Amino acid sequence: QGSLVCVGPGMVLGAHMSERCRNHISQADVVFSSCHPVIEQWISTMNPDVRSLQGLYGKDKDRGQTYAEMQAALIQAVRDGCRVVGVFYGHPGVFAQVPHAAIQQAREEGFEAWMEPGISADACLYADMGIDPGAFGCQSFETSQFMFYKRAIDPTAYLILWQLGHAGDLSMTPRQTGPEQRTVLMNMLLEYYAPDHNIAIYESPFLPTQRPKIDWFPLQELPDADVSLISTLVVPPGKKLTPNHAIVKQLKSISGA
Ligand code: SAM
């Protein structure tokens, strides 16, 4: 009977993989992987049948099509009766459509399917940048979705924008967008933050010998920022919390204070 488990090796080679993740990989009949090439090489030492899904991306190919093909590859192997492991870098369920969709489809077809957590880019970001998402609250959006739909930001909390490299990409290809799209994003953010509000681009390393990249600059310089496909944008709170006196009064009357 086939089964599917989606696991994440974390971000840093040799440093983040859980015992469970490693066991699943070594015991699988077939392992499909969508990770940094260096991580894929490492995973290949744990199982004789590791197949990279990265070749399914194409320069002008719709990313939705690539994701559908990845899902189909996982599901076909499950239907063939294999114990299938899908390895997706970081946490397999964080800003990753294929693992969620494949698990749902496998379950609908009557197979056992589940996910094991991994260390995601934002988990590294909190550690490397010294940010506690509980200090002021923290909002996470996929950058293009944030741009394509009318969303409200709470500027008293942190804002994390994922996939900055694809900001405003209407083509849905793996290509990066540029300063024009980031100017549109900057203007959206200027509705909430001052032009000189300091924001940062964060990039976690893949190798234990590398340092994280943390570039701080004022919001008005976002169009010209040094952005890559692994950049995550961090916008600290731009406004102070406003006390809710009415609610505190209500709570005081309940507690008799
Ligand atoms: N599943 C991944 C995780 O657990 O972090 C996220 C995958 S998502 C498709 C890709 C986005 O994650 C990037 O555009 C970026 O926002 C973020 N990301 C990926 N690698 C990163 C890195 N090395 N450092 C910082 N952010 C990264």
- Alpha carbon 92 to chain centroid distance? 9
Q: Which atom of ligand 1 is nearest to the CA of 93?
A: 1
Structure tokens at 69: 């093909």
d(CA 127, CA 144) in angstroms, rounded, equals: 26
pLDDT above 80: residue 110: yes
As a whole number of Å, the end-to-end CA separation of the chain is 61
Position 98 confidence tier, pLDDT thresholds 50, 70, 90: very high
* Spacing, Cα 130 to ligand 1 middle (Å): 18
193 among known catalytic residues: no
pLDDT digits (tens, 9 = 90+) for 13-38: 999 999 999 999 999 999 999 999 99
Best mutation site among 53, 231, 235 for ligand 1, i.e. most ligand atoms within 8 A of its Cβ? Answer: 231
Judged by DSSP in three states, 169 sits in coil
Query: What single DSSP character describes residue 197?
Result: -
Evaluate: CB of 6 within 6 angstroms of ligand 1.
Answer: no
pLDDT digits (tens, 9 = 90+) for 138-176: 999 999 999 999 999 999 999 999 999 999 999 888 889
What pLDDT sits at residue 59?
A: 86
Judged by DSSP in three states, 186 sits in helix
Evaluate: CB of 67 within 6 angstroms of ligand 1.
Answer: no
d(CA 241, CA 46) in angstroms, rounded, equals: 49
What pLDDT sits at residue 171?
A: 87
pLDDT digits (tens, 9 = 90+) for 182-233: 999 999 999 999 999 999 999 999 999 999 999 999 999 999 999 999 999 9
Evaluate: CB of 94 within 6 angstroms of ligand 1.
Answer: yes
234, 212 Cβ separation under 8 angstroms: no
Judged by DSSP in three states, 94 sits in coil
What pLDDT sits at residue 139?
A: 98
Position 104 confidence tier, pLDDT thresholds 50, 70, 90: very high
Active-site annotation holder among 89, 158, 193, 202: 89
Active-site annotation holder among 20, 22, 57, 63: 63
d(CA 55, CA 161) in angstroms, rounded, equals: 27
What pLDDT sits at residue 15?
A: 93
Strands (E), the chain: 3-7, 30-34, 50-52, 83-88, 112-115, 138-142, 158-162, 198-203, 213-218, 232-235
d(CA 119, CA 56) in angstroms, rounded, equals: 24
Is 0.90 exceeded by the ipTM?
yes
Give, using CA atoms, the residue closest to atom 20 of ligand 1.
230
Position 234 confidence tier, pLDDT thresholds 50, 70, 90: very high
* Spacing, Cα 31 to ligand 1 middle (Å): 21
43, 50 Cβ separation under 8 angstroms: yes
What pLDDT sits at residue 57?
A: 92
d(CA 249, CA 79) in angstroms, rounded, equals: 60
89 among known catalytic residues: yes
Q: Which atom of ligand 1 is nearest to the CA of 229?
A: 14
pLDDT digits (tens, 9 = 90+) for 212-226: 999 999 999 999 999
- 3-state helix, strand, coil split of the chain in percent (to 5) is 40, 20, 40
Q: Helices 63-79 & 97-108, crossing angle to 10 degrees?
A: 40
Sign of CA dihedral 163, 6, 28, 73: negative
What pLDDT sits at residue 256?
A: 82
What pLDDT sits at residue 249?
A: 96
pTM, to two decimals: 0.96
* Spacing, Cα 245 to ligand 1 middle (Å): 39
In whole angstroms, how far apart are CA 98 and each of 66, 85, 114, 119, 196?
10, 13, 13, 18, 38
Best mutation site among 95, 142, 146 for ligand 1, i.e. most ligand atoms within 8 A of its Cβ? Answer: 95
67 among known catalytic residues: yes
